Amino acid sequence: MKDQMRKEVRSGIRRAGGWLLGICWFGLVLWGILEAFGTEANFSVGHHPSRALGYVLLSIAGIIFVVTANLWKRVFPGIMLFATLGSLLELERGHAVNSSSIVIPRWISSIQLIVVAGVMVLSFTFKNRPLNILDRLALLVFTASIFYGGMEATRQEVPLALIVGGLCIFFVWLVDRLKAKTAAS
Amino acid sequence: MAANANTYSIGGSTELAVNVATNTNSNISEYTSFATGNEITELLFSGPGAGNFLEVASHGAGTPLTVGRRTSNIMSLNLGGKTGLPQALGSSGAQGLLETAGKWLNLGLDALEKGAIDLGYAGAEAINCAIPAGN
């Protein structure tokens, strides 16, 4: 009984720690984007964006993302499930989640919803297999597309980046299915 | 409550921390809000009829009333036994069915982790907004 409780506590701490590390990683990405693509208006007086620092930070974040993919792949479908809910809310409300001032046309949120829901369904298959380098790179492209595609959507443009990111996920899923079929026959 | 909604999300709070740490000002998390935003806050505090959630919740709570056993002198039987699936079910297809159900339940629990964080942020926002200004 005590061992079981200890195991559960350890598992809980590991999960909470994982989420905190994930949030730190997200902070690193935001800092990198700000330095690499930010304007003078984003910085306080006397401070200037450092493009080199931004690219270094984004590279470090990308490497961490690819190397640790097998550790966080378990929570990816959950994040995508809530992203689908978020897209559904954007479609229903007509504005960005938590920001009513950012209007997103319904036809754009419909495209977003289709891509995100599709990736969510495919992401469940990632849980059951070790991710190879192609899978990891596709996930990296898709994550980058969330940032760029989100920006496109808020500018009321077709979220092309998000569509490309979604297609990358579909491609690696297809490759895995074909490999599994070949192995079976 | 909708005014501060983005701050009470994974994306918004992380961006706020980055902005404070690097002395910057940005709104990148608004672009990624469908993935990093707080869907629970959006569901509860935004949209039609939002804003009176706490009032509605307090009305829903009703009058305090307790029902049930008030004594502790009840006999309990703590018999040690063999745990696991009943033998009668083991030979049928129920075992596979239960294993599949367990897997789906586990999948749901994994997905709920993000929901639990969002719920925590929503609770923090509700508490913060419930405190009258000036305190």
> Do the chains contact at A154 and B30, CB–CB below 8 Å?
yes
Cα separation, A45 vs A19, in Å, equals 34
Of A101, A33, A96, A71, the C-alpha closest to B28 is: A33
What six digits make up the tokens of B115? 């929901």
**What is the end-to-end Cα distance of chain A in Å, rounded?**
47
pLDDT per position as a tens digit, A117-166? 999 999 988 888 899 999 999 999 999 999 998 888 888 899 999 999 99
pLDDT per position as a tens digit, B31-86? 888 888 888 888 887 765 454 444 444 455 555 455 555 555 555 555 666 566 66
pLDDT per position as a tens digit, A71-99? 888 889 888 999 999 999 999 999 998 88
Q: What ranges do the domains of chain B cover?
A: 1-54+93-135
Of A178, A109, A170, A182, the C-alpha closest to A139 is: A170
Q: What ranges do the domains of chain A cover?
A: 1-67, 72-185
What is the per-residue pLDDT for B52? Answer: 47
What is the per-residue pLDDT for B90? Answer: 55
User: Rounded mean pLDDT of chain A?
Assistant: 91
DSSP A95: E
What is the per-residue pLDDT for B5? Answer: 78
Phi, psi of A96, deg, nearest 5: -65, 150
Cβ within 8 Å of residue B26, ≥6 positions away: A30, A34, A38, A42, B15, B18, B19
Contact B32, A93 (CB under 8 A): no
pLDDT per position as a tens digit, A41-52? 888 888 888 999
Gap from B94 CA to chain A (nearest CA, Å): 23
Determine what percent of chain B is predicted with pLDDT higher than 70: 47
Phi-psi region of A65 (alpha: psi -120 to 50; beta: other; left: phi over 0): alpha
Q: Report the residue of B7, B9, B18, B33 to disrupt the A interface, i.e. the one with the largest count of A CBs within 10 Å.
A: B33
Cα separation, A2 vs A9, in Å, equals 10
Instruction: Find the helix or strand (DSSP H, E) in which A177 lies.
Output: helix A160-184
Does residue A65 have a pLDDT over 90?
A: yes
